[in-house]
Structure 1
Amino acid sequence: MDYVTGFGGLLVPLIIWFASKDKIQGMDQHGRSIINFQLSLLLYIVISIPAILLLGLGLLGFLSVALIGFIVPIVNAVKAVNGEPPSYFMTIRFI
């Protein structure tokens, strides 16, 4: 979703999580995980920008963030449907 809307990938889950974390069972855990994942991806992108000057390592960072940002949410959506707990790769726990 970030590829199309930019910060919408962070704002939309944040709004949905605030609105329904107490109403839907498991929403609090999945919502926190999604917000932490999106914030982690944003941090990795910010770190990759100056790393472009270091032999192009930032480009590798951008590519890995793009792949992780595309694949991991799909895997965790399937887990959420099956009632399994989320597991986001390389996520820093902010909240």
Structure 2
Amino acid sequence: MAMICHLLFFAGFIIPFGNVLGPLVLWLIKKDTMPFVDDQGKEVLNFQITLVIVGAICFITSFLILPLLVGLAVFIAAVVFAIIGTIKSNEGVAYRYPYILRLIK
């Protein structure tokens, strides 16, 4: 189940804010019965919220070239980190995303 939290990052490509709503729903349903899903769900939500904030900043300042490059770099890093998180949680290892805001504790 924790692996699904990480995979739901890709729901954002199909459903607006699906990258946040998917893990949020799964975490809310399973957090009390599955401690690993509770831990990884919070981690994924913090990562997705950080991505939304950075994406909004890049969008607002998109008239500059630098935010476009930063946005591209953030997108590539997000895909790579989501895949790494999926693999690690499938192995039963708690994955910590680097460089994120820890808003949900």
> TM-score of the superposition, structure 2-length normalised?
0.82
Distance 2:79 2:66 in 1: 20
Q: Give runs of ≥4 in structure 1 deviating > 4 Å.
A: none
Distance 2:30 2:66 in 1: 40
Q: Does 1:36 align with 2:41?
A: no
1:48-59 aligned at under 5 Å gives the runs 48-54=58-64, 56-59=65-68
- Give unmatched runs, 5+ long, in structure 1: none
Aligned length: 94
* 3-state secondary structure, aligned to 1:5: coil
Q: Does 1:13 align with 2:23?
A: yes
Distance 2:88 2:75 in 1: 21
Q: Output the amino acid matched with 2:67.
A: G
> Between the two proteins, what is the percent identity of the paired residues?
29
Higher alpha-carbon deviation: 10-19 or 73-82? 73-82
Distance 2:67 2:102 in 1: 23
Whether the 8 Å CA contact 1:52–1:59 is kept in 2: the answer is: yes
- Give unmatched runs, 5+ long, in structure 2: 1-9
Q: Does 1:92 align with 2:101?
A: yes
Q: Output the amino acid matched with 1:14.
A: L
